[in-house]
């Protein structure tokens, strides 16, 4: 079993108190009501959301307020939020028990405890320590890597800058967890330049991508390469952010380059992330 994230949280209110509850959750907290499917709407209650989470408010016959179990909301400015509650007549119970974490509790109209926590100090924002080891690809690993991409993307080939590469021939680094590949970076060197031909992490936001790129950078320097370059397709905004945060700079735009790539690898999809048409290649570089 692997739990990915929390999908939504449900809190309870007394049956028939939806109007009062909306005054608190929509008017005071500023959450937006989203449509509840008709089949469920009959049961009462309502659904709320903002750009980051969903909160379901369920109506309960024998309602008892949750005084221990609670939702914790991250807020942009804790002091302002506190003042806001105080001016609206709510009691605020501050909690200083944890050094470096500013937070307080407020009880909703029905006595449910809610926590408010300063953005950047939230428990979900604290980085989870994740232990892994980056290894260099050896001859014995290349077949496994090539099989990995065949299973994941339906092909053991990758196209970059108009060239078709086979994972069986590419050098690079990998990370494994329980003997399964979870991150791979492949490079090739040509004319004194290193190209990061492919970078893929199965488990994201745990530092694996950064660790792999750092190893590739180390190798480029060791091989006296003038620069390290990486190609990102126009749909891949996450990768553009990722490379720039690592110090890479945009150095070229190859318009309609993906059309040419498709002639070499027909499996390249027409659309990518967020259904954006995949058409162009953006070249990022790190100069040494
Ligand atoms: C782009 C990609 C390689 C990034 O890999 P990644 O392993 O998620 O990258 P990292 O974990 O090193 O960094 C990503 C973020 O996680 C954060 N992070 C790292 N370790 C963390 C941890 N233990 N807990 C919480 N966050 C963590 C980093 O600070 C970074 O945050 P930021 O975006 O706010 O700067 C990955 O998303 C991927 O495989 N994408 C699909 C293929 C692709 O696009 N490849 C690149 C183009 S070819």
User: Atom 5 in ligand 1: which residue has the minimum CA distance?
Assistant: 209
Burial 156-165 (b: 16+ CB within 10 A, else e): bbbbbbeeeb
Which residue among 161, 210, 240, 244 has the greatest number of ligand 1 atoms within 8 angstroms of its CB, and so is best to mutate? 210
- Segments in 137-204 forming alpha helices (H): 139-153
User: Atom 1 in ligand 1: which residue has the minimum CA distance?
Assistant: 239
Residue limits of CATH 3.10.180.10 in the chain:
9-125
- Strand order, beta sheet including 249-254: 134-136, 171-177, 180-190, 193-201, 227-233, 281-287, 249-254
CATH of 134-287, one of 3.30.465.10, 3.40.630.30, 3.60.21.10, 3.40.640.10: 3.40.630.30
Mean pLDDT for the chain? 93
Task: Give me the pLDDT at residue 89, please.
Answer: 95
Task: Give me the pLDDT at residue 25, please.
Answer: 97
Pocket residues: Cβ below 6 A from ligand 1: 127-128, 130, 198-201, 204-210, 232, 236, 238-239, 242, 245
**What is the band of 58 on the pLDDT scale with cuts at 50, 70, 90?**
very high
Residue limits of CATH 3.40.630.30 in the chain:
134-287
Task: Give me the pLDDT at residue 283, please.
Answer: 97
Q: Span 52-80, mean pLDDT? A: 95
CATH number of 9-125: 3.10.180.10
192 CA distance to ligand 1 middle (Å): 28
Q: Which atom of ligand 1 is nearest to the CA of 208?
A: 7
Q: Span 229-258, mean pLDDT? A: 96
Contacts of 110 (CB under 8 A, 6+ apart): 13, 14, 17, 20, 21, 63, 65
Measured CA to CA, the distance from residue 7 to residue 27 in angstroms comes to 24
- Quote the distance between the C-alpha of residue 77 and its chain's center: 23
- Are the C-beta atoms of residues 38 and 124 closer than 8 Å to each other? no
Measured CA to CA, the distance from residue 213 to residue 196 in angstroms comes to 8
- Quote the distance between the C-alpha of residue 91 and its chain's center: 35
């Amino acid at each position: 079993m692997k739990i990915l994230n929390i999908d939504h949280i449900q809190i309870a209110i007394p049956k028939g108190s939806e109007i009062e509850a909306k005054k608190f959750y929509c008017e005071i907290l500023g959450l937006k009501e989203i449509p509840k499917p008709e089949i469920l709407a009959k049961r009462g209650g309502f659904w709320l959301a903002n750009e980051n989470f969903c909160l379901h408010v369920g109506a309960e016959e024998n309602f008892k307020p949750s005084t221990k179990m609670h939702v914790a909301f991250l807020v942009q400015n804790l002091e302002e939020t506190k003042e806001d509650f105080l001016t609206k007549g709510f009691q605020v119970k501050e909690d200083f028990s944890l050094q470096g974490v500013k937070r307080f509790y407020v009880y909703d109209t029905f006595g449910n405890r809610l926590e408010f926590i300063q953005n950047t100090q939230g428990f979900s924002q604290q980085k989870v320590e994740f232990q892994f080891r980056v290894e260099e690809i050896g001859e014995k690993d290349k077949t496994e890597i090539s099989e990995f991409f065949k299973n994941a993307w339906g092909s053991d080939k990758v196209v970059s800058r108009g060239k078709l590469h086979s994972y069986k021939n590419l050098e690079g680094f990998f990370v494994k967890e329980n003997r399964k590949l979870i991150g791979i970076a492949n490079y090739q060197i040509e004319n004194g330049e290193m190209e990061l031909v492919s970078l893929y992490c199965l488990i994201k936001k745990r530092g694996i991508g950064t660790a792999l790129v750092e190893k590739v950078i180390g190798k480029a320097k060791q091989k006296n390469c003038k620069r390290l370059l990486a190609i990102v397709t126009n749909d891949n905004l996450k990768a553009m952010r990722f490379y720039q945060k690592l110090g890479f700079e945009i150095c070229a735009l190859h318009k309609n380059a993906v059309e040419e790539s498709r002639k070499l690898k027909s499996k390249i999809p027409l659309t990518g992330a967020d259904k954006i048409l995949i058409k162009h290649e953006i070249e990022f570089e790190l100069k040494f």
